[in-house]
Amino acid sequence: MEIGFIGLGNMGAHMARRLVEAGHRVVVYDTRQEAIGNLAAHGAIAARSPAEVADAAETVMASLPTPDIVLAVATGPSGVIEGKRVRRFIDLSTTGAATAQRIFALLAARNIVQIDSPVSGGVRGAEKGTLAVMVSGPRAEIAAVEPALAVIGKVFVLGERPGLGQTMKLVNNVLSATAMAATSEAMVTGVKAGLDPQLMLEVINAGTGRNTATEDKFIKAILPGTFDLGFAAALMLKDIKLFLAERQALGVPTDVIEAVARLFQIACDECGPDADLSAVVQPIEQRAGVKVRAS
């Protein structure tokens, strides 16, 4: 299959590489020439703009950081919407349902189908091809591209309505963020009381408190103090805020997730927006006067 791929960041570069290695003809674009060069070295074809990508392939995928960037790349000047060959736009980013619906309508006016397809599983999942791929859109179009999507992970078809995939992704991400925030508070409390953090995690993971933070994130990035999960705290905060906007429109109370948003806002304010999402523990550590590190 001929596939265009826009956005070669921490996630996108691995997904595009896997598509190349699976034998697809992949045309790539990123604002960073180095990222394009790295994929070209694996056999991808370089392009100079999103429109040029969409001139070269009927299917264009995008993995981008924010809703505004996705909107511009999909529908702005020199965007995918101006491509001569493109028939479908697969958005692997996290934008929220409202943006997905807006892009769907704008592209439909040019006879381009948007397939909403955010992913979860982190950089490691992108590298190994084990992402959860949350897809919504016209079923015939999904069927046409499902073999390519299966290269990057397990495909879950959620329905045909634009935005369903985005809502599913936000539900997943706020649960991940909540686990991270709650685990940070709990672990700091235990360390302050004199417990060994490594032993704490062993106990928690053998019991009912285990979650993605205790089983993976704390062990990988917080105990060793590397803070390198590969996803910025500001991007997680963006996803939480998108979720809160959707729940407000739906009239759902979310007191816990609002508290999680405040913790990630503090982390961004005090550690910087580019800090790793695992840095959410650091303001809590600072106030408590202890650090959750392996001895």
Identify the active-site residue in 128, 154, 169, 238: 169
> Which pLDDT belongs to residue 16?
98
> Which pLDDT belongs to residue 211?
97
Contact 276, 218 (CB under 8 A): no
Contact 229, 217 (CB under 8 A): yes
Q: Distance between alpha carbon 194 and the CA centroid of its chain, in Å? A: 36
CATH topology of domain 167-288: N-(1-d-carboxylethyl)-l-norvaline Dehydrogenase; domain 2 (1.10.1040)
Neighbour count for residue 258 (Cβ, 10 Å): 12
Contact 187, 218 (CB under 8 A): yes
Residue type, 145: V
Cα 246 to Cα 219: distance, rounded to the nearest angstrom:
32
Which residues are within 8 A (CB) of 262 and not within 5 positions of it... i.e. 6 or more apart? none
> Which pLDDT belongs to residue 250?
95
> Which pLDDT belongs to residue 295?
85
Same CATH topology for 2-159 and 167-288: the answer is no
Each domain of the chain, given as residue ranges in start order, spans 2-159, 167-288
Ramachandran area for residue 251 (φ above 0: left; ψ -120 to 50: alpha; else beta): left
> Which pLDDT belongs to residue 288?
98
Contact 99, 71 (CB under 8 A): yes
290 SS3 class: coil
Strands (E), 211-284: none
Our answer to whether residue 128 is catalytic in this structure is no
Cα 221 to Cα 246: distance, rounded to the nearest angstrom:
31
- Domain 2-159 in CATH 3.40.50.720? The answer is yes
13 CB-side CA count, 13 A: 19
Cα 94 to Cα 265: distance, rounded to the nearest angstrom:
19
> Which pLDDT belongs to residue 62?
98
Residue type, 192: K
> Which pLDDT belongs to residue 33?
95
Q: What is the pTM of this model?
A: 0.92
- In this structure, the strands spanning 119-120 and 131-136 are antiparallel
Tens of pLDDT, residue by residue, the chain (295 residues): 999 999 999 999 999 999 999 999 999 999 999 999 999 999 999 999 999 999 999 999 999 999 999 999 999 999 999 999 999 999 999 999 999 999 999 999 999 999 999 999 989 999 999 999 999 999 999 999 999 999 999 999 999 999 999 999 999 999 999 999 999 999 999 999 999 999 999 999 999 999 999 999 999 999 999 999 989 999 999 999 999 999 999 999 999 999 999 999 999 999 999 999 999 999 999 999 999 999 8
